Amino acid sequence: MDTSTVVILDFGSQYTQLIARRIREFNVFSVVLPCTAPLEQVKALNPKGVILSGGPCSVYDADAPNADEGVLAMGVPVLGICYGLQFIVHHLGGRVVGAAAREYGHAEVTVVAETPLFRGLPGTMDVWMSHGDEAEELPLGFQLTAKTANAVAGIADEARRIWAVQFHPEVAHTRQGMELLKNFCLDICGAEQDWTPEHFIQSTVERIRAQVGTGHAICGLSGGVDSSVAAVLVARAIGDRLTCIFVNNGVLRKDEFLKVQTTMCEQLGLNVVAVDSSQRFLEKLAGVTDPEKKRKVIGNEFIAVFDDEAKKIFEAQKDSQPSAGEEIAWLVQGTLYPDVIESSSVHGPSHTIKSHHNVGGLPADMKLKLIEPLRDLFKDEVRRIGRDLGMPEDIIERQPFPGPGLAVRILGEVTAERVAILQEADQIVVDEIKKAGLYRKVWQSFAVLLPVKSVGVMGDQRTYANTCAVRAVESEDGMTADWAPLPYEVLRTISSRIVSEVRGINRVVYDITSKPPGTIEWE
């Protein structure tokens, strides 16, 4: 990156992504690396500063996450947060002990020494604490800068350009947290606020153009914001040498196969090859009820279909341009930064949250190399980029949709009949959420078809039909979520319309489970 960069070393905190997001909110680029990243990797990014995140461990645990101590001697400013403070104290000759009074939740911090980190902040602050250990003795050269009634809350060695706080400035509960992080990044580190959509688009297009050269690329479109923005960026760089493949896997939303084609071709000007493989997918899903097996069936079949179509495209290009036979073919993906972060564990592969979601299993003879233009972005940043690219709002603001589609919203066997029933019910949910002006306020809203039948009365006749669950959640990034308290009038209308208009459903229920303990999708 040719922008000012702040590196965040992740020691396993649940808030690490939030630190990165907060820094980017004032247009400074941030990179999250596992704490085990080699010192050379950190230095290669030429960071303006380094932040050591919190973490769930004690510095004395046998498997405590560790980092190269050379990070503390790079000469760039360092900010330790929670576990980061304890790491600094422990490795520079101080003493960390189990706290007599552990602090979790709200706490009051008193500033006891002047420091650039607290410049402009009040002498007393409400903060968010989450620690069971505390610094008992500070390393030589450090001074106490803040404290609570029970423990050390801030330290600094300005000669070595190291600061640390025991609380979490990145969470909303710490009221002056953003100002503290801004003091560190802008004033102490001297980072430039040059991480903007316009700069990102320009530098990304130039990089893709140089990367691909005279080669060709293909992109698997889903119709969602991530793959659409990625495709538009690459098309801006290489024009008609990008071909997008949109596969109907039989479990798309109602009319989606035609809608996406129209949007991508007419509104975005993309070159799209549409492949209707719905029957092929449904045949593979016949009799499958296990959720994980459904995902694997759909994933494997998608790869097979994608492979077939990609080979046709590349063969056609070779026929029309024989000299291109030795050129590299590229695969475009809408990978986002949370996927990259979640694929890097401070404890190694066994603790990784999920594997990096590239299209695994593609045949080696396709000679595809990846282009992931969005791998440095969060979802909200992707939407900002989409707007700056002039993309339609209905694409930019589209709610996330799972890769396996409606298959993971149909509990039990997936059949053409059950897909049709759910498509109708789901369309009603989305329509009414939009009519109520709530579509952009909730993270996801959809219907789920349950393998449960119940007795009902319709038109004085006894019915025995399916149950439909409605799900709506609020979230920032999908990693955690709360169920959305939809207005009763909206729920009443959704229920009434589904039961009246969708043959095969006679009962509607509302899911009020948060994540955790549940997940957003039912399967």
Residue 69: partners with Cβ closer than 8 Å, 6 or more residues away: 91
Place of tokens 């589609």: 405
Question: Terminus-to-terminus CA distance in the chain, angstroms?
Answer: 39
What pLDDT sits at residue 412? 94
**Would you say 517 and 470 are in contact if contact means Cβ atoms under 8 Å apart?**
no
Of 236-240, 390-394, 481-485, the one with minimum mean pLDDT is: 390-394
Sign of CA dihedral 437, 420, 222, 317: negative
100, pLDDT greater than 90: no
Place of tokens 């993906």: 333
Of 71-80, 146-155, 156-165, 355-364, the one with minimum mean pLDDT is: 355-364
Q: CA distances (Å), 421 to each of 203, 321, 403, 509, 511, in order?
A: 46, 47, 20, 16, 19
Q: What is the mean pLDDT of residues 173-189?
A: 94
What pLDDT sits at residue 101? 59
What pLDDT sits at residue 513? 94
Residue type, 133: D
The average confidence (pLDDT) of the chain is 87
User: Would strands 272-276 and 329-332 be described as parallel, antiparallel, or unpaired?
Assistant: unpaired
485, pLDDT greater than 90: yes
Cα(412)–Cα(408) distance, rounded to whole angstroms? 9
Which residue spans within 11-82 are E strands per DSSP? 29-34, 49-52, 78-81
* pTM (predicted TM-score): 0.73
Instruction: Report the candidate in 265, 256, 264, 261 with the shortest Cα–Cα distance to residue 274.
Output: 261
Residue 339: partners with Cβ closer than 8 Å, 6 or more residues away: 354, 356, 357, 375
Q: What is the mean pLDDT of residues 405-433?
A: 96
350, pLDDT greater than 90: no
**Residue 327 pLDDT grade (very low, low, confident, very high; cuts 50, 70, 90):** low
φ and ψ at residue 388, rounded to 5 degrees: -70, -20
Residue 375, Cβ density class (10 Å: 0-12 exposed, 13-18 middle, ≥19 buried): middle
For residue 120, what is the DSSP state?
A: T
**Residue 1 pLDDT grade (very low, low, confident, very high; cuts 50, 70, 90):** low
64, pLDDT greater than 70: yes
Q: CA distances (Å), 87 to each of 31, 93, 113, 412, in order?
A: 20, 10, 22, 49
**CB-facing half-sphere around the CA of 158: CA atoms within 13 A:** 11
377, pLDDT greater than 80: yes
> What's the length of the chain?
523
**Residue 283 pLDDT grade (very low, low, confident, very high; cuts 50, 70, 90):** very high
Q: What is the mean pLDDT of residues 258-285?
A: 92
Cα(378)–Cα(343) distance, rounded to whole angstroms? 15
More confident residue, 246 or 460: 246
Peptide linkage before 516 cis (omega within 30 of 0): yes
Q: What is the DSSP string of 214-230?
A: T-EEEEEE-SSHHHHHH
Residue 265: partners with Cβ closer than 8 Å, 6 or more residues away: 272
The DSSP element (H or E) to which 388 belongs, if any, is helix 379-388
Query: So which residues are the catalytic ones?
Result: 82, 168, 170
Q: CA distances (Å), 133 to each of 115, 293, 302, 361, in order?
A: 24, 44, 49, 45
Q: What is the DSSP string of 296-342?
A: HHHHHHHHHHHHHHHHHHHHHHHHH-GGGGGSPEEEE----HHHHHH
Q: In what order do the strands lie in the sheet with 29-34?
A: 29-34, 5-10, 49-52, 78-81, 162-165, 152-157, 143-147, 95-111, 124-137
